[in-house]
Amino acid sequence: MIKTILTSSKISNHWLTVLLLLILVSSCKTEQETPREIQRGNLADSIMVVSAREEASLIGAEILKNGGNAFDALIAVDMALNVAYPFAGSLGGGGFMVYRKANGEIGSIDYREKAPIAATHDMYLDTEGNPIDSLSRQGPLAVGVPGSISGMFAINEKLGSMPMSEILKPVIELAKNGYAITENQLNRFQNYASVFDQVNGKEILYSVGFRESDTLKIETGNLIKNPVLAATLQRIADNGKNEFYKGETAQKLVDFIEAHGGIITLEDLKNYEAVWRKPITSTYKNLKVIGMPPPSSGGVCLAQIFKMLEPYDMQRFGHNSVKSIQVITEAERHAYADRSFFLGDPDFNDIPIDSLTSEAYASERMQNFSFENATPSAEIKQGVISGYESMETTHFSIIDQYGNAIALTTTLNGAYGSKLYVDELGFFLNNEMDDFSVKPGVPNMFGLIGAAANKIEPQKRMLSSMTPTIVEKNGKLWMTVGTPGGSTIITSVLQTILNVVDYNMGMQEAVDAPRFHHQWLPDIVTFEPNAFGKETLNSLQNKGYEIRQENSVILGKVDGVLVLPDGTLEGGADRRGDDTAVGF
């Protein structure tokens, strides 16, 4: 048709020029709209396990190869991280798991730590009512009642297909035979060796050979064996959940804590139970986002942010452009402000989840947003409702050959938790008590501000930022994702999902992409170093955003699995750590 028009003698030179220009513009537009080539990471046909350590991922994959399902594998991976990743994976902690079965059934379990019965709202304050530095972060009073073993046995009973003794067998062998220390681990052990000695009053497994004064030093590649932990796991395999909460292990744990001046008792352990909860579900475009409900703040905040972003054309703005950063920052600012006021343990608080995650509320929260200037956090409080967790966490994602998917995030809170190491049992204890609002308005170790909803009360679960997430696309399983990172967990998960759905990235590319973070207070946008252009940062500063870039800043270590259109699984293991994807 075009050729016929161009050869017609009746077309004037003027209209011929116009038509040629239109064709040229159309051609350029088509070229611009051509989707960018997607870079793919690790691919597999049937199963994918992505975790912080190769040993854990391999053990999980082996469980699946032997006929186990995702829930059997998650227990093996979780327990293997206790051995090979003591930085965050420990029997002395707790966590959350979100799942989607092959038939579309969804659910979540909360095995978050709890405050001891003897805990009080002012236990970390001095006589003048001021927080005592480090008391909630280091040592015996920082420890919450551990929930990991209760969670693992609850998952096994409801969803597992293999006996716990069989699942734990390769984990026990790993503890006995040892694992090779990586460069990242070596650096961490060296950095904390003197702290371990100070807090414990003696040397421990992870300080000997790592101190500057040691004659014989452990080097990268050396094996670390933990026969004491192997013995603990063997007793649990033989005797079940009660071993940890009522048996010999429980007694050893309580004796250790009491000897160091802590307040956890046998009654605390006996009373602990993991809780099955209804997931938070929300939508973003053609996605259904399945997240963890309180006491995790992740599911609610993620739902809020997606609702605030949906009216904007993020794809047109472009990945990590000034406009994208502005919109995401403003949405994060409002969600974190609400987090600080409304969220806490749902067994102790009436939380307006439906209102917080509604489209109307999201619209109201963003109505004063402007691309011209940043909104100062000092001008933002929690929203009006009618009627009304660690840089040192670890996450793993699994999809099995049957179509089941899990996202699990577990933690000790700080690096090696309270730094207390139970030498008779072979693991560190958490410092989750710092995740409570020690005093309303006073920030915790991650700078997060709390209110009365998250105050310390006996048997209460502390608020968390952990955000294990499963995403459906057009009604089908599409992604499982999560990350460590304390207060940056929510924003890291958010940006990873956006990278795939709006910016056309593969899973590996999405988890590796540079990230930024804002959490309301302090009113600072944190950027990963050497990853954002000077022009972009200058433009944001000119609009009133306070920028921070530090060489040591790492925002999350995201692990995820993406289901491709042909059913192939792509694993994304974050370049920022020793994370490894294993599939077949």
Joined tokens for residue 60: 């999980």
Buried b (16+ CB within 10 A) or exposed e, 88-116: bbbbbbbbbbbbbbeeeebbbbbbbbbbb
> DSSP letters along 200-226, please?
HSS--TTTTTTSTT-SS---TT-EE--
Rounded to whole angstroms, the Cα distance separating 557 from 539 reads: 28
Amino acid letter, residue 162:
M
Identify whether 393 is a catalytic site residue.
yes
Rounded to whole angstroms, the Cα distance separating 418 from 90 reads: 12
Rounded to whole angstroms, the Cα distance separating 229 from 220 reads: 22
Joined tokens for residue 201: 């009053």
Bridge partners for 100 per DSSP: 106, 405
Rounded to whole angstroms, the Cα distance separating 413 from 393 reads: 6
Alpha-carbon distance values, 14 to 10, 19, 21, 98, 530 (Å):
12, 9, 11, 64, 51
Among 232, 249, 357, 393, the one annotated catalytic: 393
- The answer to whether 485 and 508 are in contact (CB under 8 A) is no
Place of tokens 């017609």: 8
Rounded to whole angstroms, the Cα distance separating 43 from 581 reads: 9
- The answer to whether 211 and 91 are in contact (CB under 8 A) is no
State the distance between the two ends of the chain, measured CA to CA, in whole angstroms. Answer: 52
β-sheet with 287-291: strand ranges across: 42-44, 569-573, 559-563, 476-482, 469-473, 287-291, 280-284
Q: How many residues does the chain have?
A: 584
Rounded to whole angstroms, the Cα distance separating 341 from 440 reads: 10
β-sheet with 106-111: strand ranges across: 275-277, 106-111, 94-100, 405-411, 393-399, 48-51, 580-583
Q: Is the dihedral of CA 14, 19, 22, 28 positive or negative?
A: negative
> DSSP letters along 395-436, please?
EEEEE-TTS-EEEEEEE-SSTTTTS-EETTTTEEB--GGGGS
Q: Which residues are catalytic?
A: 393
